[in-house]
Chain A
């Protein structure tokens, strides 16, 4: 899977590259508008991460170019601007998703994960990790072909979040934000994250799946 990171901030770009490379994505980077245009015209990518404010030009113009050349690359806008105008403009120009800075790398990862899955029309409706598999259409979860009891929408969302970043630490905060968005500060101390994880573990256990979710002391959880 090839990903192009168009971001002028070196530290951020490198951090994204490091995180995604470990997840076995092939990453390339562009720091300026010219570099970005050059790479976009020469190669095809499964996913392009696009910052809107770039030295040398606007990221939105790259979107226009992609559309003009009829390229099928998936685009996720990563912008510091949380304004709806930009979001709507980006989406109408052909972006697939919009992520506001600052974001969790795990959140970025699951957005890429779902975008690529959506873009591939190979009828691959099954996400598997070791003995665990999830049917995207029926939203049913199987462990060793045994059906896991019906998950609630949030538990299902949580499981997909884990599956998108296996062997990665997901902090309680990033889980809360993934499940609740701007409402993440609804509950102090992320008690609800703990409760969600506990219930998910319980249901997985009923199908015989134990020890997939590790608790990382003080920080969060890891899917193994």
Chain B
């Protein structure tokens, strides 16, 4: 099942976006976390320095500091200063710390700075802490933000692809539509406005080159078959006319007459063979345009009427059960050839004193005749030059012409044998 190109690209977009989305969440989380932590650390250090500078500049006494610490522990503003008995020389340390939050009633993460400083010859320990957002909250925030962006992006891509692809691919669709209408027997070029898109210009040029080349080949082939036929028909016409003159000579002996008769018979055979081969080549080359509306009923009954007298003289009969059937998008010559071959075969190979039944309706044409008591080899009868036996006058091309015509017209041909001697050919029109 062929998928539309647009669906294929959209599916690819979707897969890529989902993967990027999934990967981006932890990456975002890590980056945001890091940046944020750095910022908090910097602000903790800055606050510490402000604190030390403030105490130093304004000569704040250790009593006041003690009062401040007492006061600040009551309101929990995150700053604790301890007076030390002796100076500690340690680097500032920043670390994560979790506390039980009595108001929020759960463990809250904090970032804490512990620093040691000697201000006004008095050593202190300073602890400053800042409330952190919980990492789950951060993650959730990122997911929500990313997901909204993701959905928005997908919707946009979809809209653009669907909406614009029709416009962008328009030259392509025009090209394929025009390509379907191309007949090789007519010289033609496909003209499409490619909107200056390189790929379509390229495609158009290639397609036109292909059409031109095929048209040339077609003409050469057509010319060859026609010339070949012409070359054979003219000497045949000469032989035939000379033979006609010869047969009108006076004083021919009976054996001479018999010779003439044999030659005459064989010339007719070659002529009919040549005609049929030419027809087959033309069908193979698709030289018949399928653009006619054909009254099949009139065609079949016309042919039955045309050969009626001869069929009667052979003590046979044709019964035609007709329904009005008209085929469109077809070709008169091909249909005439199809019906005539099937009917003539049935007449030719039917038993003496038998009846040939022809049934025609909207879906099929059936030709039934009584003949030999055994089925025909179903695989080989449609092959070229197949003959039931060497002595029959047919060229062995009739059924292969029928097969080729069926192929050309999208028909299906079927052969069936019914006991004891019924041979049935059915053509399904499939229309």
Q: How far is it, in angstroms, between the C-alpha of A156 and the C-alpha of B248 when the chains are bound? A: 24
Determine whether the beta carbon of B238 is less than 8 Å from that of A171: no
Given A12-B234, A19-B241, A182-B275, answer yes or no on A84-B310 (Cβ-Cβ < 8 Å).
no
Q: How far is it, in angstroms, between the C-alpha of A32 and the C-alpha of B38 when the chains are bound? A: 106
B294-321 with Cβ < 8 A to chain A:
306-307, 309-310, 313-314
Q: How far is it, in angstroms, between the C-alpha of A16 and the C-alpha of B234 when the chains are bound? A: 13
User: Secondary structure at chain B's binding surface: helix, strand, loop or mixed?
Assistant: helix
Q: How far is it, in angstroms, between the C-alpha of A53 and the C-alpha of B260 when the chains are bound? A: 30
Q: Is B347's beta carbon under 8 Å from chain A?
A: yes
Determine whether the beta carbon of B310 is less than 8 Å from that of A81: no
Q: Is B264's beta carbon under 8 Å from chain A?
A: yes
Q: How far is it, in angstroms, between the C-alpha of A188 and the C-alpha of B389 when the chains are bound? A: 13
Determine whether the beta carbon of A183 is less than 8 Å from that of B307: yes
Q: How far is it, in angstroms, between the C-alpha of A193 and the C-alpha of B250 when the chains are bound? A: 23
Q: Is B364's beta carbon under 8 Å from chain A?
A: no
Least Cβ distance of A156 to chain B in Å? 11
Stretch from B143-151, B265-273, B421-429 that touches the partner: B265-273
Which size bracket describes the interface of B in this complex?
A: 35 or more
Contact digits for A40-66, partner B, Cβ 8 Å, 1 yes 0 no: 000000000000010000000000000
Picked from B244, B272, B333, B393, the residue with its CB within 8 Å of the CB of A84 is B333
Contact residues in A for B282 (Cβ distance below 8 Å): 83
Contact digits for A13-46, partner B, Cβ 8 Å, 1 yes 0 no: 0011011001000000000000000000000000
Q: How far is it, in angstroms, between the C-alpha of A103 and the C-alpha of B238 when the chains are bound? A: 9
Contact residues in B for A103 (Cβ distance below 8 Å): 237, 240
Of all chain A residues, the one with the shortest Cβ separation from B254 is A217
Given A15-B238, A53-B230, A80-B230, answer yes or no on A187-B260 (Cβ-Cβ < 8 Å).
no
Picked from A187, A192, A218, the residue with its CB within 8 Å of the CB of B258 is A218
Given A82-B229, A171-B264, answer yes or no on A188-B392 (Cβ-Cβ < 8 Å).
yes
Which size bracket describes the interface of A in this complex?
A: 35 or more
Contact residues in A for B258 (Cβ distance below 8 Å): 217-219
Q: Is B247's beta carbon under 8 Å from chain A?
A: yes
Least Cβ distance of B59 to chain A in Å? 120
Q: Is B359's beta carbon under 8 Å from chain A?
A: no
Q: Is A132's beta carbon under 8 Å from chain B?
A: no
Picked from B229, B233, B344, the residue with its CB within 8 Å of the CB of A183 is B344
Determine whether the beta carbon of B261 is less than 8 Å from that of A171: yes
Determine whether the beta carbon of B236 is less than 8 Å from that of A191: no
Determine whether the beta carbon of B247 is less than 8 Å from that of A187: no
Q: How far is it, in angstroms, between the C-alpha of A177 and the C-alpha of B275 when the chains are bound? A: 14
Q: How far is it, in angstroms, between the C-alpha of A16 and the C-alpha of B241 when the chains are bound? A: 7
Determine whether the beta carbon of A104 is less than 8 Å from that of B240: yes
Determine whether the beta carbon of B261 is less than 8 Å from that of A219: yes
* Contacts A/B (CB < 8 Å), 25 sampled: A9-B234, A11-B238, A11-B241, A15-B244, A18-B245, A19-B248, A53-B230, A81-B229, A101-B233, A101-B234, A102-B236, A102-B239, A102-B267, A105-B244, A177-B268, A182-B272, A184-B268, A185-B393, A185-B395, A186-B307, A187-B314, A191-B314, A218-B254, A218-B257, A220-B247
A residues at B contact (CB < 8 Å): 9, 11-12, 15-16, 18-19, 22, 53, 80-84, 100-106, 152-154, 168-169, 171-174, 177, 179-180, 182-189, 191-192, 195-196, 199, 216-220
